């Protein structure tokens, strides 16, 4: 009987010990989960909605973001490519909101779709920083980072006017129609042309920011037989395409070609004298600035509504200075 009682007592003690160990294990696991969740909260996650990974200038903007991201602690950036599809970009922004990212950096595919994306982020109380492409109503975003496109067009055309001594036939090569940069840069060009009675626009078309399309457009213009004294392009890629077509036709020496962006490729063309003018648009600076402000907003810090990064004129006289910026 005593043996039976002792056996029962032993079993009870064994069960109590097992329960105690199990309870400790659960507490430890619970503690680890809490710690893990706390670690996740400490990590800032930024969603970067970009229009086109294949766009050369935008690739430098993304490089700027990545460089800044690497220098930060506990920051993760999720990059998505809209492939120039506005509806796809809207879905990507909606996904970021559902994922509960801490902030969004948006380079809009176009100026028409941007307001809806900003509104959705605002409704979800997710800070959203618009970069590079300004539009009417951009002040509804948490912040804007970029350069004033009209100033690039003014600066570019002023230099072309000097090179032409205030007279000549101008062909304007537009980027993708409806983009803020296309609208404002061309507007700046035309404001300067209007100040010179002996200058006029004889040809105008779009090559959608693309080098190959710029070359094709220039070939078509050459076939038109119209006299062209200068090709003024909304960006460097199209300007390089125009240079290639002019070289093939043996007419580059007769035409002033101007671009905007001062990309590494373009700077080599400036150095060689083939591209007479470009305007430095700091792609990396815009990318870094956009991410920096998004991180601040995610932390609840106050940020400036408009953050301007100035354009800078580049010619053969100062091109070496800008080549060094990319090294």
**Domain count of the fold of the chain:** 2
* Same domain, yes or no: 167 and 236: yes
* Same domain, yes or no: 251 and 262: yes
Ranges of residues in the chain with a pLDDT under 50 are: 1-3, 5, 7-16, 18-40
* Same domain, yes or no: 188 and 82: no
* Same domain, yes or no: 223 and 271: yes
* Same domain, yes or no: 166 and 276: yes
Q: Is residue 327 part of a domain?
A: no
pLDDT of residue 232: 99
* Same domain, yes or no: 170 and 251: yes
* Same domain, yes or no: 268 and 182: yes
* Same domain, yes or no: 63 and 134: yes
Q: Is residue 210 part of a domain?
A: yes
**What CATH number did the domain enclosing 107 receive?**
3.40.50.2300
Residue span of the structural domain in which 225 resides: 149-280
pLDDT of residue 78: 98
Q: How far apart are CA 280 and CA 288, in angstroms?
A: 16
pLDDT digits (tens, 9 = 90+) for 168-219: 999 999 999 988 899 999 999 999 999 999 999 999 999 999 999 999 999 9
């Amino acid at each position: 009987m005593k043996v039976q009682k002792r056996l029962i007592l032993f079993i009870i003690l064994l069960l109590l010990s097992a329960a105690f160990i199990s309870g400790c294990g659960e507490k430890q696991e619970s503690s680890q989960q809490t710690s893990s969740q706390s670690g996740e909260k400490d990590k800032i996650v930024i969603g970067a909605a970009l229009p086109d990974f294949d766009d050369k200038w935008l690739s430098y903007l993304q490089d700027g973001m990545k460089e800044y991201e690497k220098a930060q602690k506990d920051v993760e950036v999720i990059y998505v490519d809209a492939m120039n599809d506005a509806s796809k970009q809207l879905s990507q922004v909606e996904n970021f909101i559902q994922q509960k990212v801490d902030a969004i950096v948006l380079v809009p595919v176009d100026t028409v779709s941007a307001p809806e994306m900003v509104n959705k982020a605002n409704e979800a109380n997710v800070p959203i920083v618009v970069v590079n492409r300004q539009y009417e109503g951009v002040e509804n975003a948490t912040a804007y980072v970029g350069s004033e496109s009209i100033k690039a067009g003014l600066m570019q055309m002023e230099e072309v006017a000097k090179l032409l001594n205030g007279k000549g036939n101008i062909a304007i090569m537009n980027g993708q129609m409806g983009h803020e940069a296309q609208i404002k840069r061309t507007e700046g060009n035309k404001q300067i042309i209007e100040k010179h009675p002996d200058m006029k626009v004889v040809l105008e078309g779009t090559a959608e920011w693309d080098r190959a399309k710029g070359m094709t457009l220039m070939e078509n213009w050459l076939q038109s037989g119209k006299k062209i004294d200068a090709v003024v392009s909304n960006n460097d890629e199209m300007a390089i395409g125009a240079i290639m077509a002019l070289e093939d036709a043996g007419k580059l020496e007769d035409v002033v070609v101007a671009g905007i962006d001062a990309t590494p490729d373009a700077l080599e063309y400036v150095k060689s004298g083939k591209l007479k003018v470009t305007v430095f648009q700091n792609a990396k600076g815009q990318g870094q600035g956009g991410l920096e402000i998004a991180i601040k907003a995610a932390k609840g810090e106050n940020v400036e509504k408009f953050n301007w990064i100035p354009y800078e004129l580049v010619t053969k006289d100062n091109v070496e200075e800008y080549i060094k910026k990319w090294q």
